[in-house]
Structure 1
Amino acid sequence: MGLSSRTLWTLRRYWADRLGVPPEAFEKSGGTVGNAEEGGIQLFSHGDSQIVGVPGPLLDAAEDRSETEIPLDAEDEDAVHGWLTRFDGIEQAIGPTFYGYADRETFTPVESDARALTAADAAAYRSFQRSIPDNEWEQGGTQFTPGETVGLFVDEELVAVAGFDVWEGVLAHLAVVTRPDNRGHGYGRSVVSQATEKAFADGLLPQYQTSDAWPWSVALAQDLGFHRFATAYLGVYRR
């Protein structure tokens, strides 16, 4: 079972607005260019559609290129990176990135002892954060908010944490980190499951974003019923 038509409608309109294109761009084959100030050039591949959001200074150059020049195979990483870095001011290309979403019809929760952390868990949270390498915390760390942040304890030690940021009142952008010496036991999946439940309770659509270079992270999301809506790349714009 895939994402519901209502969920797809919501996602197409949300991302069309973010990328500066009409919602119909996500339902037609080929490339569409829009004006989007997202810190670089974003390329979203959704089925047969290629949506490119471009900062104002590069918009003319992007529109001058024919649709056939937009890479249509999102799995051809070299072609996409080469296309992005040919624009003036783009210093590097990042991707491919998995953008996955779950709705109540696709979500497959897991039973666990994961729970919302309380103020009494602050010391355990600080100890947990110190155990995570800085670069990993930047990628998946979440702010400690009692009653909101989800954690899982094993033998009285906090081993995994998840939470989410709210994007424009629509999406719950999930983040998850597991203690390095406690990985491979499903703890990350457990806290993401609980955080996803909370997102639904708050009336939000949960979003799981991760690099396709981390298949274990993609698998975590898919095991919970997250479906790939888009494969995305970012050309980082030097301002």
Structure 2
Amino acid sequence: MDSHHHDIIRLAWSRRFDLGDSEFRPGVRHVHVDENATSVTFVRLGDSSALIGPESALGAASEMSDDDLAGGRIKELGSGRTTGPIVLSYADDAGTTIDRHDPLISHDRAHVNELESACAPDDVIAAGLTHKGSWFTLLADDAPADAAAPLASAGYAEWQGLLADVGVLTAPDARRQGNGQVVSRLATNEAFDDGMIPQWRCHADNVVARRLGARLGFEEWGVLVSIEVG
């Protein structure tokens, strides 16, 4: 990615947190006091970062380095539920190869619902397809289209008209067969066509998802972590 793409990503995250458009600046940590926040959130994008939360919790957090916060020391700030670390990855080039000849694709929400019902709740939450749109669901081709089972689905949510936050979900018995890669490629290609930068988010411990993102051309460029502080 070039500096122009980096600027767009920073701008989208600034607006995501209702910060000033230029608060994510290279080499700078922006600290934003939000007394209505019930958590402390740390976001790093390249060499810029932001720390957001109530003032009572930000004092201790400000003494920690970016590496400390991203690496888990944020847990020292509270005893509530921790989110992350979530790796943030971005793509700047559309790949046209989907490695599947004439796949049977559905854009129907009903097929997404059917797929979610066959998957573990944690996987469904991680994919977040319920909060996304522009779904591409790959259907099995061993039955008529109106009775075909969903194998994998990917979709994206539009962030500030700048980023396309992509999620993917694959049926348990259809994994490690390239199905997730097919639908993810279709979703990212459409995001590019709509003029947005695709964003890939996954937990740092999710090696499979990080490898899939790399195969799709996503570059890891940031991290998100937060903890509830009451």
TM-score in terms of structure 2 length: 0.80
2:12·2:160 contact (CA, 8 Å) conserved in 1? no
Asked whether the 8 Å contact 1:74–1:231 carries over to 2, the reply is no
> Quick one: structure 1 residues 66 and 27, their matched pair in 2 at CA, closer, same or farther if it must change by over 3 Å?
same
What is the CA deviation profile of residues 94-133 of structure 1, one whole-angstrom value per residue up to 9, with x for unaligned ones? 22111111122xx4443234565245x84x5443232112
Answering whether residue 10 of structure 2 is matched by residue 12 of structure 1, we say yes
* 1:39-74 CA-partner distances (Å, limit 9, x unpaired): 6221122344442122xxx13652x4584x123325
Residue 213 of structure 2 is aligned with which of 215, 221, 226? 221
For the residue of structure 1 that corresponds to 2:152, the secondary structure is strand
Cα separation, 2, equivalents of 1:65 and 1:128: 44
Aligned to 2:75: 81
Answer yes or no: is the 8 Å Cα contact 1:159–1:179 preserved in 2. Answer: yes
Q: Following superposition of structure 1 onto structure 2, how do residues 1-239 of structure 1 map, counting pairs within 5 Å?
A: 3-19=1-17, 20=19, 23=22, 25-28=24-27, 31-35=29-33, 40-54=39-53, 58-59=54-55, 61-62=57-58, 64-65=59-60, 67=62, 69-73=63-67, 77-82=71-76, 84-85=77-78, 91-104=80-93, 107-111=94-98, 112=100, 113-114=102-103, 116-119=105-108, 122=110, 124-143=111-130, 148-156=134-142, 157-238=149-230
Ranges in structure 2 where 5+ consecutive residues have no aligned partner: 143-148
- CA contact 1:21–1:32 (8 Å) conserved in 2: no
Secondary structure, counterpart of 2:138 in structure 1: strand
Number of matched residues?
220
Contact residue 114 and residue 150 of structure 1 kept, 8 A: no
User: Aligned in 2, Cα 1:73/1:192: closer, same or farther, shift over 3 Å?
Assistant: same
The structural deviation recorded for 1:222 is 1.4
| SS of 1:7 mapped into structure 2 | helix
Name the CA distance, whole Å, in 2 between partners of 1:71 and 1:114: 47
Q: Taking every aligned residue pair, what percent have the same amino acid on both sides?
A: 23
5+ residue gaps, structure 1, are none
